[in-house]
Amino acid sequence: MKILNEAMEAIKSPDMEMHARALERLANQARPAGSLGVLEPLSARLAAIKGCMDVRLDRKVIVTCAGDHGVVAEGVSLFPQEVTAQMVYNFVNGGASISVLARHAGAEVRVADLGVNADFDADLPIFHKKVAKGTRNFAKEPAMTRDQAVASIEAGIDIVDALVKDKGLDMLGTGDMGIGNTTPSSAIIAAFSGIPVENLTGRGTGIGDDALRNKIRVIEEALALHQPDPADALDVLSKVGGFEIGGLAGLVIGAAKHGIPVVCDGLISTAGALVACELVPSAKQYLFVSHKSVEAGHAYMHDRLKLSPILDLGLRLGEGTGAALAMEILDASTRVLSEIKTFEEVGIHNAN
């Protein structure tokens, strides 16, 4: 756990004096107090993270972590496992939903193979971080070993290190790809929260009523079989998680290590963020949640994290699409803080 421990020790708190200064400037701008809603606290958080009032998010990267899941053998998904690998190629070729929305947001998309059940050529331009070719079927045995859980998290940290070393990084987004991965994500929030599985489990790729009941049963029986310890995030990840979810957790921890704001996407990315923040609570200081998915468990994850989603657009795709859209809002918030003049700067008498 050397990489993980070093990352944990490297995380520093944002500049709360800068945060206070940002709030003061926002309160004194030439407009009604609070009139720009959530843009105001977002901009103050970014100012604290970056240590300045004029925050520039020039280099934005969304890392889409991919992995397969043995639990698909239980009939929990509408699509076959082969789609995971096919979508990796779609991401690389720039034809996926995240490719389009990231371009609009001025963000680069990078794909990371954490556990796809396929062999990719070594020269394919992705992060080659495969822990294994898919997790085991957690309906029958733990999804992975504890060592594999650590390896998946450390792979995510390594990816952030590489991005920072390569061209620098101003903001990171997290996204996912993995057929069947709403099942481990629902299992993770159930394990941490103790909330009934039926309240947390949605239709994923669009399964019908019978398949949904089966999905709920599979998760309930797996939790009863493995008894993951909610006080031990690595135990939860290893017993009912996924390799890409571990990678997503590592991205959040790696971003916090480097003092970089990180915005997570939907249910699966937020499951990774939840694992990260349960394991390393200080990482949450750098985390933003992009949107509220229609997936049932997503709002409960936000409640657990005590963070509010920036958007609510009825999304349920993943890939990092919500993160890309939220990046545009976060960009706008930085301009709100820096460029809107105060009453004093424009010579207007503030009656308040």
pLDDT 10s digits, 123-180: 999 999 999 999 999 999 999 999 999 999 999 999 999 999 999 999 999 999 999 9
**310 lies in the same domain as 341:** no
**218 lies in the same domain as 105:** yes
CATH of the domain at 117: 3.40.50.10210
**327 lies in the same domain as 247:** yes
| Sign of the CA dihedral with 184 first, then 185, 187, and 191 last | positive
Q: Say whether pLDDT at 321 is over 90.
A: yes
Residue-level pLDDT at 127:
98
Q: Find the mean pLDDT for residues 313-339.
A: 97
Domain of 41, in residue numbers? 2-55+336-346
Q: Say whether pLDDT at 328 is over 70.
A: yes
**34 lies in the same domain as 163:** no
Residues taking part in catalysis: 319
Structural domain count, the chain: 2
Rounded CA separation 215/198 (Å): 9
**190 lies in the same domain as 241:** yes
Q: Say whether pLDDT at 216 is over 90.
A: yes
351 in any annotated domain: no
Written as one string, the DSSP assignment of 68-101 is --GGGGGS--SS-THHHHHHHHHHHTT-SHHHHH
Could you report the per-residue pLDDT of 174-199, keeping only the tens digit for each? 999 999 999 999 999 999 999 999 99
Contact, 291 vs 316, CB < 8 A? no
Q: Say whether pLDDT at 206 is over 90.
A: no
Residue-level pLDDT at 351:
54
Task: Take residue 166 and report the two structure tokens written for it.
Answer: 């390569």
94 in any annotated domain: yes
Contact, 173 vs 265, CB < 8 A? yes
